[in-house]
Every structure is written in structure tokens, then in C-alpha cells.
Structure 1
Amino acid sequence: KPSLAIIRVGNRPDDVYYENSIVKNCESMGIWPQRFILEQNISMDDFIEVLNIVNAEPRIHGIMIFRPLPRQLDEEILQHIIDPAKDIDCMNPLNQAKVFAGDMSGLLPCTPAAVMETLKYYQIGLKGTHVVVVGRSMVVGKPLSMMLLKEDSTVTICHSKTQNLPEVCRNADILVAAIGKAKFIDDKYISDKSIVIDVGINDTGDGKICGDVDFQAVVNKVQAITPVPGGIGSITTTLLLKNVVQAIHLQKSRHYRNDFNHKDLH
């Protein structure tokens, strides 16, 4: 039976929400979810020990680590440790490099892939289209920008140091919000031509979630907008489970360098 290891550090409400969604979908699709819930103050050594266990366990086919991780855990080191053939959210540099080189045949990062699937489903043309991506993380912003470039979009990546952010966003044909700040994007950031993709999952403090976009402030002023909940997050979860199945095939093949062991070499 396909199996997914979910590694969560601490109890961030948005992580818990996403995890519950993944588990529910796993169960409906015949994938066995295994949760590893770790203390917020876990040491680097202890985290690596858990990661090595799930890497080595042949009955685990996919590994999902919730990011960002607490400060004491060095993602730069951990991304090299996760088995690239089990790395279903494209954390390992081997998998990232394929995406950045324009090769979309491997394990794609789930949220950027969900954005691309949404645009494709609604037949929104990308060639020559100006896409503004707000957020430059390796989880969403950077890989998504590479995937958009592959489709011949003109991409602007914005971040906390960007000058005149509302003006830059207003000039977008497609605006992608991926900053992790609740309702940050309001009507100052959009125009009547905007297509808005909201990637955010934020806790509102009352048991509900909202996106990075103030939905009510913009919904009647834009061409189209994805809702939160029920938008990109739902597709992300589906693609995550698709990656688990793809990972099984990768582990059976010999395409990944850490499939090689000493008996292969002698």
C-alpha cells in the first residue's frame, strides 16, 4: 500500500489545517498517512534521526516536511538529506535543479504545480502574459516563477524589499500571492484586468483560515480569483498524492543517484 510520511514541527494552525486535509485525502485514495509530530524545540540531530528513519524505511514512499521550519533546524542541510526519490514536495536540490532547468518530468513542487494546473484548466494563456509573483520562497515563489518562464510568461518576482509593490501588482495580468500574510493584498494591488491566484493559508484566530488576499475587498473588482479555502490548497493536496504514486515508480527505477549502493558498484 502506498505510504506517506508527514513531518510537522510544532502546531502552527495553518500546518495543522493542511495536514488534516492531506490525511483525509490519503484515506480516500488508499494511501497510508504516517504522521511524525515533533516538538517545536527539537534539535537538529534529533530531526535528522527522524528523517534518516523515514528515508531508510522501504514501506514509506513519500516524505512531506512542513516548511518553514523553526530557526534551529537548518533547511540548507536538511534538503540534501531527504531522499530525492521520496521528496514529494521538491525540497532536495536534485529535484529543484530539474525544475529550474525547465525539466518538468520529475517530482514537481506541489503548490506551484497546483497554480499551473489551475491556469491550464481555465485555459488562461501564459505566453507573453505578465505574471507578478509576490513571494520568493523556495517552496512557492521561485519554482513557480521558473515554471511560468517555461511557458513563456514575463515574470516579476516581488518580496519585502520591492519598491512600489501596489503599483507593480496593479500592472500584472496574473497576480500570485504567496507571502503568508493574512489578507495582505487588498484593492490597492489589483486592477479590473487582474486574475488573482491566492496561495496563502493563514489562521484567522477563530478556527477559520483565509488567504493572502482580502477576498471580499477584491472579488467584485477583478477578472477572476481563487478562493481560500477550496482553491489552490485543494489542488495542491491532490498533486501531493499524485507525487507519492510517482515516487513509487522512481524508487523502483535507478534514476536517482542514492539508489546506488555498494552491491551495485562491485
Structure 2
Amino acid sequence: MSSSGDSSGKLLSGTDLAKEIRESLSRDVAELREKLPGLKPGLAIVQVGGREDSNVYIRMKTKAATDIGIEAHHLKLPRTITEAELLLKIRKLNEDPSIHGIIVQMPLDSDNTINSHLVTDTVSSDKDVDGLNTVNEGRVAVGDLEGFVPCTPNGVMELIKRSGVEIAGSNAVVLGRSKIVGTPASELLKWHHATVTICHSKTKNLSQL
């Protein structure tokens, strides 16, 4: 990202920012639990199979949730689970009042064919903390940023804003157009008034941008 006429870049580190955000969230959760005695914010992390990279991510998410006072529930399902069985599990979590947020760990490590888009759309939009439900994606697309926003693009925006980089009026180049990162990142930059160029595998003369 650069301001008009400035082609220089700045490397941003999220380590210190992540610590600040977790400390702030910890205070927020403590205040919420004080106002609502008996409330135990609950996060369900649904995993299919046992990919080691997914195991690492889940351990990190579980620790982060625990550190700020959220009860993380890891629902590990076998590779043999069918699409119908998985959707039923998710619907039960949607209806569980002790669960306030749901993450389905991707990719799904299953022996069976499972439509991942259908899976993320089955998660209630009110509990879709990853922001991957079509309802939440649509809200971002039209500039409604009050709901759940995909976590990685949201983290990128926080990093840019807290680093003092002026987004409005800047030229931003987004590499990739994935549903999880590239596309929502470009939408967020657009709604923060940057001029956005999206590059992908078919982009020509990428090095000249």
C-alpha cells in the first residue's frame, strides 16, 4: 500500500499488536462476565480428521480463547464422517445456547466428499466468527462492517490502521482473490477508501504494479 506518488513499502509486524488486542479483549470479556453473572462465552472449534497443520492452528486458537476468558470446545470428528452428519453436528451447535461462536477448521480432512461452502453456510450467521457464511460475506461486500468479518483480512486492517498508515486515498494492491483472504481484504480496503487493485494468477505484468 502506498500514498499517491509514494512507491516505498513498509514491513508491518503483528506480534506486539496481537498482544495489545488480546489484553483489550481479556478486559472486555471480564467486564461482560461481571455484567452478566453466570455467562461463560463459548467457542466451538469443529475439526474433521487430524491434519497436523490443522492441529497446530487449533491449539493456537484454543490457547488464545482461553487466555482472554473464553471457553473453547474442540469437537474432533472422524475422517469417515459424511456431509449430512457434519451438517447435523453444526446445526446442533447453532441451537446450543452455551456456544456463542463457531469455527469450522479448514480444510476438511475427510474420506468423503463434503461441500465446504455448504458447511460454512450452515454455520449460523450470528455465530460465524470466521465471517465465511454467505450472509456475512454479503454484508462486507455492501459495506456493512458491523457483523462478523473474515479474521485474517480483519487482522490485516487492524495492523495497517494501528501502524499509522493512512488508508484513505492510498493505492493498495492485493495479491490473490481467495474467498477467505484476498476478496474480503480488497473489500475492506475499498470501504476504507483506498483505491484497490486485485492481482491473481492471470494478472499480466505483475511486477510493474
Quickly name the TM-score band, shorter chain normalised.
0.7 to 0.9
CA contact (8 A) 2:102 2:128 kept: yes
Q: Does 1:116 align with 2:157?
A: yes
- The answer to whether residue 202 in structure 2 is matched with residue 161 in structure 1 is yes
Once the two structures are TM-superposed, the CA of residue 131 in structure 1 deviates from its matched residue by: 1.7
Q: Which residue of 2 aligns with 1:204?
A: none
1:155-234 alignment to 2 at 5 Å? 155-165=196-206, 167-168=207-208, 171=209
Q: How does 1:37-116 map to 2 (within 5 A)?
A: 37-69=76-108, 72-116=113-157
When residues 101 and 30 of structure 1 are mapped into structure 2, their CA distance, relative to the original with a 3 A threshold, is same
TM-superposed CA distance for 1:28, in Å, is 1.6
Q: Name the residue aligned to 1:139.
A: 180
Which digits, 9 at most, give the CA deviation of each residue in 1:129-149, with x for residues without a partner?
Answer: 222222212111111110000
CA displacement 1:44-69 (0-9 Å, x = unmatched): 11211211121111111100112243
Residue 9 of structure 1 corresponds to which residue in structure 2?
48
Equivalent AA in structure 1 for residue 163 of structure 2:
Y
8 A contact 2:167–2:189 mirrored in 1 = yes
Aligned length: 168
Structure 2: unaligned runs, 5 residues or longer: 1-39
- Structure 1 residue 128, shift from structure 2 partner: 2.7
Distance 2:46 2:106 in 1: 10
Length-normalised TM-score, structure 2: 0.74
Contact 2:44 2:72 in 1 (8 A): yes
State the SS of the aligned residue for 1:7: strand
**C-alpha displacement at 1:41, in angstroms?**
4.5
Q: Unpaired segments of 5 or more residues in structure 1?
A: 172-266
The runs of at least 4 aligned residues of structure 1 exceeding 4 Å deviation read: none
Identity %: 37
Q: Residue type of the partner of 1:125?
A: E
The amino acid that maps onto 2:201 is S
Q: Decide whether aligned partners of structure 1 residues 161 and 14 sit closer, same or farther in structure 2, where only a CA change above 3 A counts.
A: farther
Q: Aligned Cα RMSD in Å?
A: 1.8
Normalising by structure 1, we get a TM-score of 0.59
2:120 & 2:203 partners in 1: Cα distance? 28
Per the TM alignment, residue 77 of structure 1 is displaced from its structure 2 partner at its CA by 2.1
| 3-state SS, counterpart of residue 96 of structure 1 | helix
Partners of 1:111 and 1:152 in 2: CA distance: 19
8 Å CA contact retained: 2:49, 2:108 = no
